[in-house]
Structure 1
Amino acid sequence: MAAKVHDFTVEMTCEGCSGAVKRVLGKLGDKVTNVDIDMELKKVSVTSSLTSDELTETLKKTGKGVTFLESRDG
């Protein structure tokens, strides 16, 4: 499957929260090619060949509230 950009809202309040997001996504290896985090908007954009459902489940491992927004072509 071609990589798409998946956008999520993640309830992040500090750098530790964004670090947790980067850690769990980093464990997916080459299935994730880019992670862009906007702390102010609490938005995480993930470029990946995985589905939005798979990424949602991974992001939930942070213990933060996660809401899937949209997927678009990278």
Structure 2
Amino acid sequence: MTKHEFFVDMTCEGCSGAVTRVLTKLDVKFDIDLPNKKVFIDSDKDKDVLLETLKKTGKTVTYIGPK
């Protein structure tokens, strides 16, 4: 399993809630670091699948790399 790090432009609990909703549907393990606007995802899924899923929140998302 790979741990992926993403930058997601989250500013509040509502933003992190949106991230939680889309990632829960994917059935992956994840951690949200709201102050640093980072999301860490443990998954064997392709990073592009994870990136497209995070973009469904409407937030700016950038793939930083494997952690």
Give the number of the structure whose alpha-carbon radius of gyration is greater. 1
Any gaps of 5 or more consecutive residues in structure 1?
Answer: none
What is the percent sequence identity of the aligned residues? 57
In the other structure, the counterpart of 2:66 is 71
CA offsets 1:29-60 (integer angstroms, 9 cap, x no match): 2xx1x211111110000001101111000000
Runs of 4+ in 1 over 4 A off after TM superposition: none
Indicate the SS of the match to 1:41: coil
Indicate which of 24, 27, 40 corresponds to 2:25: 27
In the other structure, the counterpart of 1:38 is 33
Indicate the SS of the match to 1:9: strand
In the other structure, the counterpart of 1:52 is 47
Structure 2-normalised TM-score?
Answer: 0.95
Backbone CA RMSD of aligned residues = 0.8
Structure 1-normalised TM-score?
Answer: 0.86
Q: Give the Cα separation in 2 of the matches to 1:11 and 1:28.
A: 20
Any gaps of 5 or more consecutive residues in structure 2?
Answer: none
